[in-house]
Structure 1
Amino acid sequence: MELVVNTLAVARGGLTVLEGVSFVLAPGAALILRGPNGVGKTTLLRTLAGLQPAVAGTVSVPPESLTYAAHADGLKAVLTVEENLQFWAAIHGVGGVTEAMAQMNLTDLRARRAANLSAGQKRRLGLARLLVTGRPVWVLDEPTVSLDVASVALFAGVVRAHLAGGGMALIATHIDLGLAEAAVLDLGPYKAKAPVAPGGFDEAFT
């Protein structure tokens, strides 16, 4: 199974922001998305995750093979660390809660409610959800927000292990995760051209 994106165009607020995006992500591979703020990285990832329709082009991947992690951690504040992971594991029909807590250094916090975690701890718990989905394609939007240097290294190790097991990762980030095996896709060349007003000038100044 591969993630195949072919001449994809995506829009934000009704305006096309990227067009002609094409790439193939194979098992064991990672792709880092780069580009200035506002270029459309989040919009692209949301489209790939099925949260909004594409303007044009195709995305070929079984929907049940993909999991998405964005800026929100997706936690239930009244549940403990362990209960949050058990909740997500039950939804996806898989286990691995104990292992996920160990991999993201959450074992000592297993009985603490999510509401009482620090921002970095919440982020690690949100990312630990990836490990209990059982899904091979990880689509990640700035996953290291709120993480300290040690936690970034911890997460990078988790990603490497996922890739070594045949998983795939598509990551929008400005941080160097130290993934030597990852390719980089600069979205700048795919920025959609601004629409031109009739007559070739801005009608606001007529």
Structure 2
Amino acid sequence: MGARIAARARQLIGVQDLHALDSSVPDDCTGLVRLAYEGAGINLMDGSGVSHGDNGVMILYRRARSLGALHTRPKPGDIVFFRETYDRNRDGLRNDGLTHVGIVEQVTPGGELTIVHRGSKGVARTHMNLKRPTVHREKHSADVVNDYLRRASGEQRAYLTGELFAGFASPEPWARVARRARPLR
């Protein structure tokens, strides 16, 4: 199932406008995750977990927590959560909580992750290594270890994916709920 979700996310790389594919999902990071999961028959927004003022990322996180889907060992198809990727409330502080999600596409034995996400330039890949969260590039090869996920602004420096990482959620608990919710034939 995770491989199918990761493959669907991979198919969306390069898409600039998610509404062109499905007008029922938002044209943001949560829309990408929802489309990838819907390809596996999972409706991520089915159920409770909404509190006043929550953004879509928080809704997904609360639902993942309620289903017992949160964990720390990534696999392809997992949702990856990030915090403080932008100044959501525009107060100049890093106090915005969970603000971004993506789909784990690949995990290497060395701990490098490739993630598919919907950023400001459309659906793209990004890199993250939680063993080296503060390293942007390899010194000897210039290969990217962690991509930048939050731009520098004002007095604040830019931040890397590994620095803003907040957790993973696996698809299996959502799939179990989806199977139970289907009517018997």
Structure (1 or 2) with the greater helix fraction: 1
TM-score, normalization by structure 2: 0.29
Q: Whose Rg is larger?
A: 1
TM-score, normalization by structure 1: 0.27
Larger RCO (CA under 8 A, 6+ residues apart) = 1
